[in-house]
Each structure stands twice: as structure tokens, then as C-alpha cells.
Amino acid sequence: MDGSALLVFALGAGAAGFVSGLTGLGTALTALAFWLHVTTPQIAVPMAAAIAVLSHMITLTYIRQGIVWRRVWPFLLGGLIGLPIGVAALSILSADAAKAGLGLFLILYCAYGLAVRTPPIITGGGRPADGAVGFGGGFLGGLSGVSGPLPTIWAGLRGWPKDEQRGVYQPFNLVILGLSVAGHGLYDRFDPIAGTEALVAFACAAGGSILGITTYRRTSDRNFRRIVLILLLIGGVTHLIAWLARN
């Protein structure tokens, strides 16, 4: 990778780290927007998962007071059950169609969420509902590689403060992404990645994450909600456009 490509790689990692630090999601979406211009998906995708894990590990230390483990475990249990089922479903379901459907849902939901002044709050369902959402996230993660939106939306609908929202969906994403990184490593998908590229990506992502979490701590709950909805909306549009381009 030449100097200009490495600069783009560094900018992508830094921007992805910042977005992750600010919101607790969107790492891969941001990184791939830069990286796919200078490298292949075979290198970019596993590396994006790796810096997402790094960013979660850094930022979770700043919001650890928001992690309530008795609230988190139903999501994790559901996700761990749903993940292999989603992988198995790849043989009968279309991952592209799943991403398109998720994209349309995100567009409609986020447009509604941004339009209303007072968002709806769901207090019923308890742990079974939380576990079902985790299952859905794990299933979509196994089927299409997109595990985060459902737990993120649900945490917002629960009406929890921003630290407690992140205290649910970030541990969930960390576990699912950690399994993804382990899978990439098992299939030697990190072998083509040069040491210099990896070091640059990790360093810039770490710096961006710290800057992002610092900005997050100055952000109100209301503004945090809007930022998350905008990021999910962008993700939904991206998934839908990608599907339309292939069909």
C-alpha cells in the first residue's frame, strides 16, 4: 500500500473510531466507506471487525457505570442462540435480501423517530422480550453480518439513559464481533494484512475512539438519540442502495 492509500486507510480508521466512540456503533460502516477505495473487501471487512472490537474495549471502560449485567445477559444469550441459526439459514435465505429488508426498516423507523418530538417508550416484555431482540440481532449477524441495529433500537425504545443504552448494545456487539474476528482468524483472513497497515489502523482507531467518547460525554441524551438515529438511517440507506445496485 503506497503512501496516499495508507493515508486514506488511516483517515478511515480514525473516523471509524470517532463514530464508534461517539455512538457505540457504526465502526464498519464508516471504515469501509474509506477503505474500499484503497483495498479489497477481503482485507477491509475483517480489519473493520477488528478495530470495532478494539473501539468497544476502549469505550466500554468510560461507560462501565451504565452496564447492568442482569439486563445485558438476555441479549447475549439470545444473540448466541441466534448467531449459528443465522449462519445455517444462509443456505436457504438471501443475505442480500435480508440486508435490504433491514435497510428499509431502518429508513422507516429512523425517519419516524427523527420526526416525533416524544419518542415511544416500551416498558413491557421484560427479559423474554430483551432475549428475543438479542436473538434477532444474532440471527441477522449470522445471516448478513449486521447484528447491532435491533439491540440499539430496542435499548432506545426502553427509555434508558444513554450510558445504559450503550451498556446494553455495546457488550452485545463486542461479543458478536469478537466471534466474527475469531472466525476470520480461523480462516486466515488476516494473513494478507501487512503489519504497517494493521498498526496504523489500530493506532488511529484508538485515538479516534478516545476523541469520540470525550465528545459523547458532552452530548445530551436527546442529541445522542438523534445522532444514533441519523447513523442508523445512513446505514439503512446504504444497505438498500447496495441491494438496488445489484438487482
Interacting residues of 223 by C-beta distance below 8 A, sequence separation 6+: none
Residue 164 pLDDT: 96
Residue 181 pLDDT: 81
Residue 178 pLDDT: 87
Q: Which residues constitute the domain of residue 72?
A: 3-245
Spatial distance between the Cα atoms of 1 and 7, rounded to a whole number of angstroms: 10
Domain count, the chain: 1
Average of per-residue pLDDT across 121-136: 95
> Residue 247 pLDDT > 90, yes or no?
no
Residue 225 pLDDT: 94
- Name the pTM for this structure: 0.87
Interacting residues of 63 by C-beta distance below 8 A, sequence separation 6+: 163, 166, 167, 170, 213
Is residue 103 within 8 A of residue 232, CB to CB? The reply is: no
Give the tens place of pLDDT for each residue, 87-103. Answer: 888 788 887 888 889 99
Give the tens place of pLDDT for each residue, 6-38. Answer: 999 999 999 999 999 999 998 988 998 899 888
Confidence of residue 192 (pLDDT cuts 50, 70, 90): low
Interacting residues of 229 by C-beta distance below 8 A, sequence separation 6+: 110, 113, 114, 156
Residue 1 pLDDT: 67
Look at 173-177, 181-185, 190-194 and tell me which has the smallest mean pLDDT: 190-194
Residue 187 pLDDT: 67
